[in-house]
Every structure is written in structure tokens, then in C-alpha cells.
Amino acid sequence: MLDTSLELSSTKHDNPNIKKIYGQFKSEISEELEKFHVPSKQNSMRTKQLWNWTFLGGVTEFSEINNMPKELLNQLSKNYTLSRNSIAKEQKSNDGTMKWLIDLESENNSTNNQIETVFIPEEKRGTLCISSQIGCTLNCTFCHTGTQKLVRNLTAAEIVSQLLIAKDRLNDWHKNNPNNVRKITNVVMMGMGEPLYNFEAVKKALQIMTDFDGLALSKRRITLSTSGIVPYIERVGNEIGVSLAVSLHAAKDEIRDILVPINKKYPLRELINACENYPRIKNSSKITFEYVMLKDINDSLEDAKDLIKILSNIPSKINLIPFNPWPGSNYMCSDMKKIREFAKVLLDAGFSSPIRKPRGQDILAACGQLKSETIRLKIKK
Ligand code: SAH
Ligand code: SF4
């Protein structure tokens, strides 16, 4: 690892009645301004101003806003905040990947309230990997997060906050980049948790992130990854409209039942059927299938052929992910030669099949390695 664990602290807002502005729709802010007797003629302008300062200016205090009436800002600050969740730890990998351990507010006196967010810089883009839950209810056997019980779902504000925190730390605000060269160009819902088991909050957060008057992230540059919660897949396309990634990992139920146990509830036939009908396919955008390469488990040429068969009716891209080990994991990564042969079979059948380069492994920031620090420390003891 390069330097660099930085212990950071920032202001905490533990009052649950204080809402985060950035977890609100514009329409909700506008309703609030109405309650504060902002004249209706000004309402839309004031809402946009607030939205602008929040998402383009990156302000963290109402006092930084200089073109709105002081009295209104005062009123707002009694019920709302622009402050972020606190960063407990920041790490930078020697490949430039950054990981933040973030403290969230505690519910039901739970002791573990941390999530991780990861930034992966590449030549032409920067991807932020965002968490949707503390822990996960699903127990995929190769995934570190899966060994951590679900504590709770994140709120929309906590999901958006991860993007704002990363922009703060990377100095990625519009005001500092007059040419609008963004460091974070893409968002993937591939951190801790199953986003489709927190559908409403994820939907709201992504709608806020894509709102044209704010961060205006393009839907094409957002990918939601699911382990295959079939009933929600169509809703992702219709109601959120972002790119879909499916954690497939096996082309036969016998193997997938073990790797991704939710497969027993939503078996491959149903999952593939939902993907074949995914609304965006009609607009010719591809579905990404994630396939973790596990030595002697799912990496034979036979497995590759089965994969080709089940995906034959879906415009797809298959991301081959070399297994990232974590403390206590029982699997081994397939040999690189085997992964390349596997990729070639898929390529020859017409599938784009990139092999994902592991990023941030030295700080446990790679796919499937995320876990709350508090839990990790307990395990070490
Ligand atoms: N819960 C969602 C979102 C998490 S995305 C989902 O499962 O899709 C994280 C991706 O990394 C998933 O494709 C997951 O299957 C994969 N993954 C999990 N553990 C991994 C590991 N140890 N090595 C490589 N990939 C892993
Ligand atoms: Fe949960 Fe996804 Fe990990 Fe499975 S792979 S345990 S669904 S986070």
C-alpha cells in the first residue's frame, strides 16, 4: 500500500430530524420553501439556486450561499443540513484507487454503521463504486460482504452522500473545473449490499444524481449491479433507466445455487428471461454479465459453452472478474492462462469478454472485498 491511511473527522449531525438537502427531490425542496412563505413566483428560482449550490458548488454550509436571503437560509438550517457523513478512514492504493470508510448514523443502537466507497481512476474515466446497504442479506460464498449480516438499508441521502464525499476529497466540483472535466465520470452500484433489496432509496438517489439541474450524470454512465432479484429487473429499466449488470457467475443452476444462493429462489431460467425482456435491450444497449473466475469451480471450457448458450438471445458483454481473495475465503482464482482461454471462447462466439483488471487489492478495495472495518477488526481479534 502507498502511504496512506488518513484518519479524518468532520462535523456530525446526529439529530435525526435534520434532513440532508441532497437526499431531497427538487419538488420536495420546493414544497418546503412554500412552507417558508417564499413567494410562488420565486419558488422555482430559489429551489434551483439551492440545488445548484449543492450539486455544482459543492457547499457544505448554508453560510457559503451568497445569493439567497439570509433569513431563508437561517430557516433552512433549522431543518436541513448540507453536511456529509463522516469519513472514518481514507486509503489510497499504489494503483491510485481510493477507498473511504464512512461512518453512518446509528439506528437501534447498532454498533456497526460503516460502509465503504471506492474510486477507480482510469485513463479516460473515473468510476465511483457506491454501497447500497450496510452488509448484505445474501450470502454469495465468494464475497466478503456476504459474510457480514445486513445491518440496514441506506437512505437516499446516504447513497448520494457517497458521491459528494468523493467529489469533496477529489476536489471534483464544477467551480474548480471551469472546463467541466470531471474526475468522477461513472457510477456503479457495485459496493456493499444488494441494490434491488433497497429499491426505493436507490431509485431516488439515482434520480437525484441524474437530475439535469444538478449533478446531471448520464444514465448511460450509471450501472446497477444485481445478484438477480428477478421481480425488480424490469422496474430498473422502466423506472430508473440505467445500465444493468447481472452477477451471473455460473451458467448451470447446480453451480449457481452454491455460488449465489438466491438462485434457489430465482433460478437461471427466470433470471435469463427477465434479462431477455429488460426494457433497455430494445434500445440496443447491452447487459453486462459479471462472471467471477474460480479455479476448478466455473472456469472450464464446458462452462464457457454453457454460458454462450444461455446468453444467446441477449445483447451482452461478459466481464470476467479474476477472483479477489479476502481473509478466510475458501476459493482460488483461476490461472490467468485459463481465464484467457475462457475469454477467447466467448470472443469467438461474438461476445465482448474483457478480463477485469483487479484494482486496489492492496487496500481490500477490489470487487467483493468490501466490508465494514469494525467487523474486520473483530474478526482479527
Ligand atoms: N450485490 C450486488 C452488487 C455488488 S457488485 C451484486 O452482487 O451484483 C460486486 C460484484 O463483485 C458482484 O458481481 C460480485 O458478484 C462480485 N464479487 C463479489 N465477491 C468477489 C470476489 N471476491 N472477487 C471478485 N468479484 C467478486
Ligand atoms: Fe451481497 Fe452482491 Fe456480495 Fe452477493 S455478491 S453477498 S449479493 S454484495
Q: What's the rounded Cα separation, in Å, for the pair 267 and 123? A: 38
**Kind plus residue range of the DSSP H or E element containing 108:** none
CA of 340 to the centre of ligand 1 (A): 20
Q: Is 336 exposed, middle or buried (0-12, 13-18, 19+ CB in 10 A)?
A: exposed
**Each residue of 79-105: pLDDT tens digit?**
999 999 999 999 999 999 999 999 998
User: What is the average pLDDT value for the chain, to the nearest integer?
Assistant: 89
Q: What's the rounded Cα separation, in Å, for the pair 173 and 57? A: 6
Mean pLDDT of the region 305-309:
98
- What pLDDT is attached to residue 188? 97
**CATH number belonging to domain 19-81:** 1.10.150.530
Mean pLDDT of the region 7-34:
78
Contact 317, 291 (CB under 8 A): no
* CATH superfamily of this structure's domain 86-380: Aldolase class I (3.20.20.70)
Full-model pTM: 0.92
- What pLDDT is attached to residue 196? 98
What is the 8-class DSSP label of residue 5?
Answer: -
Give, for ligand 1, the residue of 137, 227, 297, 367 to mutate: max count of ligand atoms closer than 8 Å to Cβ.
367
pLDDT at 378 over 60: no
What is the 8-class DSSP label of residue 294?
Answer: B
Q: What's the rounded Cα separation, in Å, for the pair 218 and 285? A: 14
Annotation marks residue 333 as catalytic: no
pLDDT at 319 over 70: yes
Strand order in the sheet with 114-121: 86-92, 98-103, 114-121, 126-129, 186-189, 222-226, 243-247, 287-293, 316-322
Q: What's the rounded Cα separation, in Å, for the pair 222 and 244? A: 9
Domain boundaries, the chain: 19-81, 86-380
Annotation marks residue 275 as catalytic: no
Contact 255, 267 (CB under 8 A): no
Q: Which residues contact ligand 1 via a Cβ below 6 A?
A: 140, 142-143, 190, 194, 225-227, 247, 290, 292, 321, 323-324, 367-368
Q: Which residues contact ligand 2 via a Cβ below 6 A?
A: 136, 138-140, 143, 145-146, 193-194, 227, 247
Contact 90, 99 (CB under 8 A): yes
Give, for ligand 2, the residue of 130, 136, 329 to mutate: max count of ligand atoms closer than 8 Å to Cβ.
136
CA of 317 to the centre of ligand 1 (A): 16
